[in-house]
Amino acid sequence: MLKTLLISIFLITSCSNLKVRTADRSKSTPQKTESVDQTEILKPEKPKVYNIAIIIGPGGAKTMGSAGVLKLLADEDINIKYVSGLGWGALPAAIFANNLKPHELEWQFYKLKKMSLRSKNFMGSIRDYLDPNKVENYTKQIFASKKIQDFKLAFACPVILKGSNSTTLKLSDQATKGLMMCLDHPPLFKRADHHTGAALSYGPLAEHFESKDINFIIYIDSLSSLTVEDLSKVKLGSKDKAYWQRLLKLNKHYSEHSDFTFTVDAGNYDLFGFNQASGLISQGEQAAKSQFKSLVKKLKE
């Protein structure tokens, strides 16, 4: 009996030792690992960096609404590399490019409340176009002898010389002289003898921007609510009427085909409403606030 018990104990102890040794061997055996193909590890893509250019569309006094948009873009530190303007849009573009201070732009527009840029005849009656001398004096008060190439931000505005079908971009020159050529187009001014502001020339600006590594264009549209019928308040000759019909059509095209467009509702303001800066700037601020999220979304695509 005792012999049988001893044999049983021996067998149980031997089995236990065998399990421990087997477990130890399994722990000490190196585990095989699957090799990782390094080519399959994808590096995270860097977010695309946009070099942004702004084009302020034409529209006489209506373009003062762009000040509200520029103010928000500056506050949000948007990567603006170039600013330009078509027709009268060149003025707010130049003021902003000069020192990058949106509040300065607002101040310069508020000063127009006390000024009359309209022409008068010898009887003192107000004419339906601006006085070039008054406009030139106004720009001289802003820029003095400053040159376009000395602006803090790159600036351009298009001009068409009479007798030439090609567009020239004002990239340098004395600021007032260059602007007076860019701003000059009917019905704001009488037709000039030797040049006209190329308010229709979006294409040459876009081509120039591409050569400067600009990859995103923001268009500020102040004319979307204007129709040819609205222009009936301004006396237009047949040439000027045809010009504005084409301008309004192209403005819509520019708005639709830019990378992003801020649309400022300036419908209640006329082309000569230079004494209504406060309301127009407020409209620009409202447009910027309501449309800025869409811009951010576009830039993240």
Contact 188, 130 (CB under 8 A): yes
Beta bridge partner(s), residue 102:
none
**Residue 2 pLDDT greater than 90, yes or no:** no
Nearest one of 148, 150, 144, 151 to 159, comparing CA atoms = 148
Residues 152 and 274: their CA atoms lie apart, in Å, by 26
pLDDT per residue over 143-202, tens digit each?
999 999 999 999 999 988 777 778 889 888 899 999 988 887 766 776 666 667 788 889
Helix H or strand E encompassing 277:
helix 277-300
Asked if the model's pLDDT at residue 228 lies above 90, the reply is no
The Cα–Cα gap between 153 and 107 comes to: 19
pTM of the model: 0.81
